[in-house]
Amino acid sequence: MSKRHALEPLEDVADAPSPASKRARVEDEDMSTPEPPSGTTNGHLMLPRVRDRDVIDILGADAEEHAELVEAGALDEDDDDDENEPAIGAPRRQKAPEAGYTDLYLDTIDRKVLDFDFEKLCSVTLSNINVYACLVCGKYFQGRGPKSQAYFHALDENHHVYVNMETKKVYVLPEGYEVLSKSLEDIKFVVDPRLSKSEVARLDKDPKVSWDLSNREYIPGFIGMNNIKANDYFNVVIQALSHVVPLRNYFMLENLSSRPQLAQRFSTLVRKIWNPRAFKTHVSPHELLQDIALRSSKRFTLTDQSDPVDFLSWFLNNLHLAVGGSKTKPGSSIIQKIFQGTLKVESQEITARADAGDRLRFEDAAVKTDITKFLVLTLDLPAAPLFQDALEKNIIPQVPLTTILNKYNGLHAQEKMKNRVRYRLLHPLPPYLLFHIKRFSKNKFVSERNPTIVTFPAQSLDMAPYVEPNPKEYPPGEPIYYDLVANITHEAVKKKDDSVEGEQDMKVWRVQLKDRSRDEWYGVQDLFVEKERGETLFTKESYVQVWERRRGQAGPNAVNKGKAKA
């Protein structure tokens, strides 16, 4: 066919094909689809041409079906309206399971492999955002969308049930719907144990025994803690603090979602220690230890052993700030309200006078007095003997706790640097007292340990002789009784293949805890828990002690309250 001229009318051109009329685009779903014409053209089946979006949305075609329809000519790839839309849509998520399949895949859950104590990090991306736990193998994965790690794990391993570690919602993948079965409530409780106020109040009153999944018996609050490598110093401190009643109740009941991770993770660990429906008879402090290692610039880690007192001081001060405490205002947090007390320190410079017979005797000169706050009281042991007895055996000396407490009676002075110093406690005494019995000292060459045994009663320790009388705060002559709650002990164990002098002792830390509901004592060393006798607690080398003020006796401002009533 020859090309027509520009001015030549179209009707005069012979054999010119008529332009096809444009099809009307109708979006009405009620209109019936036109029947395909019978027969074939050029050997191909004539199919109705519809748009990509119609096939993907209405028929739900996948990638292979989409390619087949395009090759057959059933899809219009040149649709101008669909140029910016993807050819394959995302898989449609189900909002609910199909009828009759409400308990699908729940039989694949293995509760014995679930361990929610470790840090919530995706096992692939190491991200802590939007983490899900596979309830079949126990691994952590990030997200549940079509391109997430949990979605791929569900397709690759055929593991379909996942729980969100923050919202505690359970989903089935790859379908994506939420499971609302009550049979999963025990798993949600183990992820984040929550007790009511009445249940927390009965922890110290009703003796309770629980069983784990392996039918092993345990007592809530007296369970082992995993020693990952060398974090036994951390375990004993956390175990002791978890038995301080007001501190335990605060972190079990208070909502700390807006607080730093240190407070949140400590709260979670305390609730897991007192969990009456645990899957196993021990907990792992990995999650809290990771945050502590980060905040302390790796001063306290799970691979290197540290001193429990150093960690206790650091942890209480940082926990005080984490729950909203102030650096300048005393008593601004639950930590300071429980442990903080007041101490009077009198100091005087030592002068080189020939007629001064006693270096520690306070003279008539002016004495400098300071009032300071404390969280931990340090008690000094007398020097250990240098000689052996007649049988050539080392003598292990003993000293009563009341003797080393005389440091705070305001009468006995001590030499500190170039000053003579004496201490005196002031009213009001805190509800709980922390004693640090100083056993270790360092010089330029070696670290020395004092093995002196400190004898003490397990209850009725009178602190009145060590407090300066104040009739306005406390009735004079009235005893102030404290009872022992926790006792952290030290044990030196010799290493087998180590011949270096002074480096042969390995430190082993252990904590003794009181069960108030049964009036019994339990010793906890990492994963081992055993019953102990209260009469023999002092036979160990005490290092840190937690004393609780006895309830029912005259408290602070008792004199003023009595006058007000009169």
Spell out the domain ranges in the chain: 43-89, 106-190, 197-315, 341-374+376-565
The pLDDT value given to residue 554: 58
What 3-state DSSP class applies to 117? coil
- By percentage, how much of the chain surpasses pLDDT 90? 51
Does the pLDDT at position 5 exceed 60? no
- 197-315 with 341-374+376-565: one CATH topology? yes
Report how far Cα 472 is from the mean position of its chain's Cα atoms: 42
DSSP class of residue 39 equals S
**What is the sign, positive or negative, of the torsion defined by CA atoms of 492, 494, 498, 499?**
positive
Host H or E run for residue 529: strand 528-532
Residue with tokens 């004539």: 46
Q: Across residues 298-320, what is the average pLDDT?
A: 94
Q: Across residues 537-554, what is the average pLDDT?
A: 88
Please state, as a whole number, how many other Cβ atoms lie within 10 Å of the Cβ of residue 127: 15
What 3-state DSSP class applies to 136? coil
Which tokens hold the place of 399? 């000293």
- What is the C-alpha to C-alpha distance for residues 240 and 511, in angstroms, rounded to an integer? 7
Closest CA to 206 of 274, 300, 136: 274
Residue with tokens 């050819």: 87
What 3-state DSSP class applies to 70? helix
Tens digits of per-residue pLDDT, 387-443? 655 555 557 788 999 999 999 988 888 888 778 888 999 999 999 999 999 999 887
Residue with tokens 């739900």: 60
Does the pLDDT at position 115 exceed 60? yes
Q: Across residues 158-172, what is the average pLDDT?
A: 93
| Average pLDDT score over the chain | 81
DSSP 342-407: EEEEEEEEPP--TT---TT---SS--EEEEEEESSEEEEPPPPPSS--TTS-----EEEHHHHGGG
- Quick check: 558 and 475 in contact, CB under 8 A? yes
- Quick check: 498 and 484 in contact, CB under 8 A? no
Q: Which CATH number is associated with domain 197-315? A: 3.90.70.10
The pLDDT value given to residue 349: 81
- What is the C-alpha to C-alpha distance for residues 447 and 519, in angstroms, rounded to an integer? 38
The pLDDT value given to residue 50: 44
- By percentage, how much of the chain surpasses pLDDT 70? 74
DSSP lists the bridge partners of residue 419 as 349, 416
The pLDDT value given to residue 10: 52
- What is the C-alpha to C-alpha distance for residues 549 and 551, in angstroms, rounded to an integer? 6
Does the pLDDT at position 104 exceed 70? yes
- What is the C-alpha to C-alpha distance for residues 155 and 146, in angstroms, rounded to an integer? 10
- Quick check: 229 and 302 in contact, CB under 8 A? yes
In CATH, what class is 106-190?
alpha beta
119: left (phi over 0), alpha (psi -120 to 50) or beta: beta
Please state, as a whole number, how many other Cβ atoms lie within 10 Å of the Cβ of residue 393: 8
- What is the C-alpha to C-alpha distance for residues 507 and 491, in angstroms, rounded to an integer? 6
Any residues with CB less than 8 A from the CB of 531 and at least 6 apart, and which? Answer: 520, 521, 522, 523
What does the chain come to in residues? 566
The pLDDT value given to residue 175: 86
HSE of 407 in the Cβ direction (CA atoms, 13 Å)? Answer: 19
Please state, as a whole number, how many other Cβ atoms lie within 10 Å of the Cβ of residue 519: 9
Tens digits of per-residue pLDDT, 488-533? 999 988 766 554 554 557 889 999 999 999 999 999 999 999 999 8
Amino acid at 255: N
The pLDDT value given to residue 63: 46
- Quick check: 439 and 384 in contact, CB under 8 A? no
The reported pTM is 0.78
Does the pLDDT at position 468 exceed 80? yes
Please state, as a whole number, how many other Cβ atoms lie within 10 Å of the Cβ of residue 185: 11
Q: What Rg do the C-alpha atoms of the chain give, in angstroms?
A: 37
- What is the C-alpha to C-alpha distance for residues 545 and 377, in angstroms, rounded to an integer? 10
The pLDDT value given to residue 8: 57
453 compared with 54, residue with greater pLDDT: 453
- What is the C-alpha to C-alpha distance for residues 130 and 287, in angstroms, rounded to an integer? 16
Does the pLDDT at position 41 exceed 90? no
Cα 531-538-509 angle, rounded to 5 deg:
70
- What is the C-alpha to C-alpha distance for residues 300 and 63, in angstroms, rounded to an integer? 53
Residue with tokens 């001590």: 414
Which CATH number applies to 341-374+376-565: 3.90.1300.10, 1.10.3720.10, 3.90.70.10, 3.60.15.10?
Answer: 3.90.70.10
Where does the pLDDT of residue 200 fall: very low under 50, low under 70, confident under 90, or very high at 90 and above? very high
What 3-state DSSP class applies to 374? strand
Least confident of 23-27, 163-167, 213-217: 23-27
Q: What is the maximum span of the chain, computed from C-alpha positions, in angstroms?
A: 142
| C-alpha pair distances (Å), 183 with each of 137, 161, 229, 502 | 18, 13, 36, 57
